[in-house]
Amino acid sequence: VNPNLEIFSQGEEIITGQTVDTNAAWLSQQSIALGFNLTRHSAVGDKIDDLVGVLKDIAQRADCCICTGGLGPTSDDLTAEAVTLAFQMPLQFDALAFQQMQTFFATRNKAMPESNRKQAMLPQGSLRIDNNSGTAPGFALQHERCWFVFLPGVPSEMRQMFQETIHPLLSKRFELKPSRLITFRTIGIGESDIQQRIKSLRFAEPVQLGFRADTDEVQVKLLFPSGFPDPELKALVASVYEKLGRHVFAIDGWSNASGDLVSVVDKLMLSGNHKLAVIETASQGLLAAKCIGSNWLLEAHYHQSMLNFAERRPVPIDRNDLIAIGKELAFKLQKSIGVNLVLIQIYAEDFAQFIDFNQTIKMHCLLLNNQEFVEEIFLLAGSAKRKQNQAALLTLDLLRRNLQPDSII
């Protein structure tokens, strides 16, 4: 049986709902991947009695607990004090922690406020967890059944400390049997459609099948227990991939093609030394915006409607012949900028339809790849924001399917 782990978050900003507790979700995913059994999330505000009560309960209930928040320098940061009261562990000045804080301020040319001295007071007998990107050190200690880890609530600091220090410590302290997670990441296909396609497959009893749909993609997750035979695993991955086909743009935990759609496209663009220009309508700049940090996108142009564009032309073109206008534009851009790839979105519906939650928009996409055009039609539904996001992703996916090898398995 895997050891139990709980997550405990502290802070008024969490309990009042001003901050959504993304730390709890992130830590849960990390801990499950390590092989823990996640049993509970708790959060309280800056109230010493609540903190002490929760810590005492967890000490009886869990094998491990990761706590975030409450390590700052101000008077409402109470975690260390709560540990003292709950577990009768007095606080002790940690000279090295204090020195690290002094260095932190010195390298930033700032004076260290006196209040920060408090952060160097750690429970006696606890293990200090260094914080390389902030002032608050963390600490870890065993009390009764539970090994407690205390980390700051700032997500970037918390994640770095978890990955650098806590992850290896957990692997050493607990006998963990990590299961293997393989995630098929798909686009352009709904969850029920996916279930229909794979319902004929037989999954051996210990394999857990899961689905996750969000605004950007639908994921199919296969969780294999430790020690699951390799040939069976391979066969199952191959048969799921066969059923889902080209909708799969990445397979995390299996394929070189991994990560979200933008990072898959980024790798393909870089390895092929491609350059891209884009004409957006429905996605209104979002396609370009998603590619930030990549230097293969040279230009992007948004027109509220291709119709506007047609009307402005010196020699009027048949308003219905938007595809012809699109193709002409693509060739022009290709030549003037010197890119091999041009993506164009064309839609002829009006603004009222676009912002109407209940109306569906038809978007015509063109990809000019050297001298050849690929054309595809996509349907966009839902709110304006959802249509925009779908338009950006489906257009990028047209590019992905034209650059990616036939099989990514």
If you search the block for the tokens 């109230």, which residue do you land on? 47
CB of 113 to a second copy, least distance (A): 12
CB of 235 to a second copy, least distance (A): 26
Bridge partners (DSSP) of residue 212 are 219
Residue 126 or 389 having the CB closest to a second copy: 389
CB of 395 to a second copy, least distance (A): 12
CB of 351 to a second copy, least distance (A): 5
239 and 200 Cβ atoms separated by less than 8 Å: no
Question: For residue 74, what are its two tokens?
Answer: 């101000």
Residue 20 or 235 having the CB closest to a second copy: 20
Residue 41 or 173 having the CB closest to a second copy: 41
Helix (H) or strand (E) holding 357: none
Residue 255 or 389 having the CB closest to a second copy: 389
262 and 276 Cβ atoms separated by less than 8 Å: no
Query: 3-class SS at 68?
Result: strand
Residue 76 or 232 having the CB closest to a second copy: 76
Residue 117 or 386 having the CB closest to a second copy: 386
Query: How long a stretch of residues is the chain?
Result: 409
CB of 288 to a second copy, least distance (A): 3
8 and 61 Cβ atoms separated by less than 8 Å: no
CB of 27 to a second copy, least distance (A): 7
| Separation of alpha carbons 28 and 202, rounded Å | 29
Residue 240 or 392 having the CB closest to a second copy: 392
Torsion angle, alpha carbons of 387, 389, 391, 392, to 10? 160
Q: What is the chain's alpha carbon radius of gyration, rounded to the nearest angstrom?
A: 27
150 and 140 Cβ atoms separated by less than 8 Å: yes
What is the DSSP code (8-state) at residue 267?
Answer: H
Residue 234 or 385 having the CB closest to a second copy: 385
What is the DSSP code (8-state) at residue 165?
Answer: I
34 and 177 Cβ atoms separated by less than 8 Å: no
Residue 348 or 409 having the CB closest to a second copy: 348
331 and 349 Cβ atoms separated by less than 8 Å: no
265 and 243 Cβ atoms separated by less than 8 Å: no
- Dihedral angle sign, alpha carbons of residues 393, 362, 285, 356: negative
66 and 31 Cβ atoms separated by less than 8 Å: yes
CB of 176 to a second copy, least distance (A): 16
Torsion angle, alpha carbons of 386, 389, 390, 391, to 10? 120
Question: For residue 290, what are its two tokens?
Answer: 């998603």
- The binding site for a second copy (CB under 8 A) comprises 9, 13-22, 24-30, 32, 38-45, 47, 50, 54, 210, 212, 280, 283-289, 291-293, 295, 297-304, 308, 312, 336-337, 351, 355, 384-385, 388
Q: Output phi, psi for 362, to 5 deg.
A: -105, 120
CB of 318 to a second copy, least distance (A): 21
Residue 9 or 126 having the CB closest to a second copy: 9
CB of 228 to a second copy, least distance (A): 19
Helix (H) or strand (E) holding 280: strand 276-280
CB of 95 to a second copy, least distance (A): 28
